[in-house]
Structure 1
Amino acid sequence: MNDPMEGLYKSRRTAFQNEQIEQVAAQLYDEKIGLGIASFTETWDNELMWAHYAEGFRGICVGYNLSALLRGLPSNCSMTRVVYADRPRSLDLEKSSDLPRRARSVLSTKSAMWGYEREWRLFSPHPGPTRHGKRVVTHVLMGSRISDHDKAHIQRELGGHGITLHTTSIDGYEVSRTAIRKPKPKASRR
């Protein structure tokens, strides 16, 4: 996570009078670091996103069929829209109930300065890969500065998987895309 204030929260002043505060805070911390997180955005054409997350247009952006992704996830996973705020989320640490929900809540709040990301987070109860359904990736956009080697590698690896490949270009302050290969229709059975 790139936000240095990621995962911060404020606790009520009365919480500091509670001797259990350090224990609850430690449990909340353990809960936060025990989660798996995947981040998604609502937009593919934001220059800042390409600059920050795709090595200055040298990387890729992966497009998903969200409903297929959600249908294929285990029931213990959840998707949450990030809330952008001027202050960290406030928690009552005197109550140690439902720490998993509270950890996800804290990790779903970011500084308002990051609002351009329009982020959603997928939470899994454990770090690492999480199983999902088939055919959830619909397209891959390759940054306008991607190397010819990487472009050829992506085209080779994704060929025949029903994924549309796009190149991107920059014109002034606009990012546009052009499909270079669309998936071949599946052969019909008779």
Structure 2
Amino acid sequence: MRLYHFLNAEYGLLNIRHRRIKVGRINELNDPFEFLGAATKSASLRRRYQRLKDGLNDYMGLVCFSANWNNPVQWGHYADRHRGICLGFEVSAQAHKVTYVSERLLARPSAMKSEGPKAQAHVTEILTTKFEHWSYEDEYRLFPQLQDQDPSGHYFIEFDDQVALREVIVGHRSTISRDDVAQALGSLQPQVTNYKARLAFRSFNVVRQRNDRLWE
């Protein structure tokens, strides 16, 4: 499955050079409803869901991808206002598709008290459900366990055959040059297609710049 990850120019090139992607932490995401999507009537149940979220935060993170790179809103929000970069990966690891809803999920107190299939299904539901206004992201998620913390305090997953870099798309406002990308790719160049993006002429989409002379 081809999936896309948006970054600013600095971190996009760093990720390519170091062959890795940063793992996001659950308690640091930009949507405060993340992992708290169930509607709850009691304070005790809310505390139970918060403890679940905190527990998940201690041992796992997430890496977020989109099913497409053409949405200008994503470039605006996650790629430094079209000055950044988008990395396309062939992902064979288990990627979970996010479901977008208009109403909060039904709380399942009984599932919260068990550790069987029903509990696991409810946790997966919580991990992969967001408010419908986020649907422009067309998101898929990986949930790697936290291990081998970097000296910076962050966690990363390495490029490998499960998450293989296949495209580098440079934003239409970006000053990243062909040579910048080539140097960052190094030995990966034969496996990776790279190109500049532009705004579509007849729709609100971002598309490939076919005139190679316009990217130096």
- Fold-level similarity (TM above 0.5): yes
Aligned to 2:130: 110
Structure 1 partner of 2:36: 8
How far is 1:4 from its partner? 3.5
Partner of 1:25: 49
**Structure 2 partner of 1:89:** 105
Is the Cα contact below 8 Å between 2:62 and 2:142 reproduced in 1? Answer: yes
In structure 2, the CA distance between the partners of 1:55 and 1:132, relative to structure 1 (3 Å rule), is: closer
The count of corresponding residues between Structure 1 and Structure 2 is 166
Q: Does the 8 A contact of 1:11 with 1:93 survive in 2? A: no
Query: In structure 1, how many angstroms separate the alpha carbons of the residues matched to 2:47 and 2:131?
Result: 26
- What is the rounded CA distance, in whole Å, between the counterparts of 1:101 and 1:37 in structure 2? 18
Q: CA deviation at 1:12?
A: 5.4
Is the 1:142–1:151 Cα contact (8 Å) retained in structure 2? no
> Structure 2 regions of 5+ residues with no counterpart?
1-28, 148-154
Moved over 6 A (4+): none
Verify the 8 A CA contact 1:62 1:137 in the aligned structure 2.
yes
Q: Structure 1's 22 and 63: CA in aligned 2 closer, same or farther, altered over 3 A?
A: closer
1:169 Cα offset (Å)? 0.9
Tell me the CA shift for residue 163 of structure 1: 1.3
Tell me the TM-score normalized by structure 1: 0.73
Q: CA deviation at 1:153?
A: 2.5
Q: State the alpha-carbon separation in 2 of the partners of residues 132 and 100 from structure 1.
A: 28
- Partner Cα separation in structure 2 for residue 157 and residue 133 of structure 1: 16
Structure with more of its chain in helix, by fraction:
2
Report SS of the residue matched to 1:130.
strand
| 2:174 is the counterpart of 1:154 | no
Matches of 2:78 and 2:137, distance apart in 1:
10
What's the offset of the Cα at 1:106? Answer: 1.4
Cα offset, 1:100, TM superposition: 6.1
1:80 aligns with 2:96: yes
CA contact (8 A) 1:24 1:96 kept: no
Match of 1:119 among 128, 139, 144: 139
Structure 2: distance between partners of 1:26 and 1:115:
24
1 CA distance for matches of 2:120 and 2:158?
20
Counterpart Cα distance in 2 of 1:46 and 1:22? 35
Consecutive unaligned residues of structure 1, counting only runs of 5 or more, are 71-77, 181-190
Question: Deviation per CA, 1:53-88, whole angstroms, max 9, x where unpaired?
Answer: 101111111111123xx2xxxxxxx42100000112
Structure 1 SS opposite 2:173: coil
- 2 CA distance for matches of 1:81 and 1:164? 25
- Please report the RMSD computed on the Cα atoms of aligned residues, expressed in angstroms: 2.8
Q: Percent identity?
A: 25
Distance 2:125 2:146 in 1: 16
Identify if the C-alpha distance between structure 1 residues 85 and 132 changes in structure 2 by more than 3 Å, giving closer, same or farther: same
Structure 1 residues 28 and 171: alpha-carbon distance in aligned structure 2, compared to 1, 3 A threshold: same
Which residue of 1 is the match for residue 199 of structure 2?
170
Q: 1:2 to 1:27 in 2, by over 3 A?
A: closer
In structure 1, how many angstroms separate the alpha carbons of the residues matched to 2:39 and 2:206?
A: 42
